[in-house]
Every structure is written in structure tokens, then in C-alpha cells.
Structure 1
Amino acid sequence: MIPFSHAWPYEILGEDVYVSECPFCGTSNVILPMRKKELKEIREGKKKLLVFPCCKGSVYIVDTDADYLLANRRLRK
């Protein structure tokens, strides 16, 4: 079980995935370099290196659910 400190909320708009705030630099409304179909692949066990375009902060996404991206490291303080 991944702790809540490793989870970050996301939204889907069309085929794009975005977060309301970057966990690293705080930039608002960041469109992530991943597509909606990749969320299913991650849910099925594939890991994804996610590099935030605003500040180049990166994490591995190890799982997803309907609301959160689950990372391999802490995203919340």
C-alpha cells in the first residue's frame, strides 16, 4: 500500500491528463506529458517516468486510480 503522501490528484480533459498544481514548483494547471490511455496501462502494472514540463521535476508513477496518481516517492510534505 502506497501512503497518501505519495499520491497526487489529477483530472482528465479530453485525452489530456493534468494536475491543478505541480507538486514540485507549485505551477497551476499543468498538462502532463501523458494521455488518458496510459492511465489504464499504469493500472495494469506498467510504470511510467513522469517529468513535469513546468520545472522538470520527475517521479515514477507506479499506480493510478480514478482520482490519484501514485508515485514511488513523497509528493506531499
Structure 2
Amino acid sequence: MFMSAEKVVSNKINDLPPLTTPNNSEEVSSSGRVDINILLNRARKEKEKETRTNLVFVGLTLSLIFVVGLILSF
């Protein structure tokens, strides 16, 4: 009644395009340097998005607790 575990081997060649770095003229200047202000702005945006996501989860959790408490109080 036991099923044997067989390793499936695929001989198909992966047809994904090679990884390339996008050339953004904002990030890299002609001398090959990266502007620190652009990096700081990107970090701030990511932190704001993370904070917003956390606030949504906290709000949903508090709403759930409130609704469950309301239901149990009756």
C-alpha cells in the first residue's frame, strides 16, 4: 500500500532569457556612480509601504477582535 517515491528528472532546457541589469539613467551617472539620494528615496518608499501594510494588518486584527467580542457579548 506504499507508493514509491521516484525522482522525476526533466531533460527540458530552460528557455528563460538571461538576467540583465536595467539601465536607469537616474540611478547611474555617466561616471558609473550611484546617487545616494535616489537610494535613500527608494529606502524611504519601501519603509512607507511596509508601515502601511503593517497598519492594515493591525487594523484588520483589531476589527476581528472587536467583531468576535461583539458576537460573544450577546
Q: Which has the larger radius of gyration?
A: 2
Give the number of the structure whose residues are more often helix, by fraction.
Answer: 2
Which protein has the bigger strand share? 1
TM over 0.5: no
Please state which band the TM-score falls in when normalised by the shorter chain. Answer: under 0.3
TM-score, length-scaled by structure 1: 0.16
> Higher relative CO (CA 8 A, sep ≥ 6), structure 1 or 2?
1
